[in-house]
Amino acid sequence: MNSPKAARESLLKADRALSSDVAQKGMTAAFEAAAAQDAFFLYDGAPIIAGHDNVVALLAAQPELKVNRMQWLPLVVTVSADGMVGATWGAVIVRPSQSDSARFGKYISTWRRSPNGEWKLAAFVEMGLSDQKVVIPDSVPKSFISSKDPSSGMGAPFAKADLEFSRMARAKGAPTAFGAFAAPNATTLPGTGEIVIGPAAIHARMLESPAAKAKWAWHPVYSESSASGDLGFTVGEAVIAIPGANGVTNFKSKYLTVWRRQPDGSIRFIVDGGNGR
């Protein structure tokens, strides 16, 4: 088995290769080659997209992805103790075809390593990749139906942590819950604004936003863990009830959260991000 350093370096290489392929071949072709057969893609405005062919079909249906130039810059690369599951996250640069200006987004990827050493994309969420309404082709399901109980199997401890996190958010508010469940070096990637690092900063940032007064409810629909049990991720759906002058607006979203078991045995998130559905 490779050392943790070697595993991180190989994952960084895979992440950079995917970005390069997106720039050279387009997003559809790049993800067709990189995504696992059971991959998840969280595209803004769409339901959770599950399965390789559905991911490819969704990406192929987006007109702007055919013409925009994109690349991403990984800021963090982390792998499990056994080197078989990993995650990358960072910034996305999008250059529209008809403009010299660029806009910036964010991404989180989770990866699974095969016995031959090849990394395959397990789940991907983007924030700010597109500024156009999503096109959902007829071949892609219009809603997500889970075929697996996230609270069973190897990923169960991470699904349990996710549910405890959700219960605290309902009982004490999202800012308190995010602060409590964030690992010491945790990162959140809001749909707008800066990348936020650390429990105190995450708590303070959420107090400044409409999230402070909103009612949050979410649940995982999928969980996965490394065999070593120290790194896992959850994919889920959320409803954020935001009070306003004209009543409450229910914002439906979806998320990808990456978790790490801490030295004391507790499970805390190390990165979290999502978008609308």
CA pair distance 109, 88, nearest whole angstrom: 5
Query: 16 vs 8, 110, 144, 148, 267, CA distance in Å?
Result: 12, 14, 30, 31, 29
User: Looking at domain 156-276, which CATH architecture does it have?
Assistant: Roll (3.10)
For residue range 65-113, list pLDDT tens digits in order: 988 888 899 999 999 999 999 999 999 988 887 666 888 899 999 999 9
CA pair distance 76, 273, nearest whole angstrom: 14
For residue range 191-220, list pLDDT tens digits in order: 777 899 999 999 999 998 877 889 999 999
DSSP 15-39: HHHHHHHHHHH-HHHHHHHHEEEEE
Residues of the chain predicted below pLDDT 70 = 1, 98-100
Say yes or no: do domains 4-127 and 156-276 share a fold. Answer: yes
Domain map of the chain by residue range? 4-127, 156-276
User: Looking at domain 4-127, which CATH architecture does it have?
Assistant: Roll (3.10)
The pLDDT, as a whole number, for residue 14 is: 97
The closest of 86, 82, 130, 80 to 105, measured between CA atoms, is: 130
The pLDDT, as a whole number, for residue 128 is: 86
> To 10 degrees, what angle do helices 199-207 and 174-181 make?
170
DSSP state of 59: H
Q: Which two tokens stand for residue 105?
A: 């987004």
Place of tokens 């806009």: 103
The closest of 124, 114, 97, 100 to 18, measured between CA atoms, is: 124
Integer distance in angstroms from the first to the last C-alpha of the chain?
Answer: 40
| 3-state DSSP percent of the chain in helix, strand and coil, to 5 | 30, 40, 30
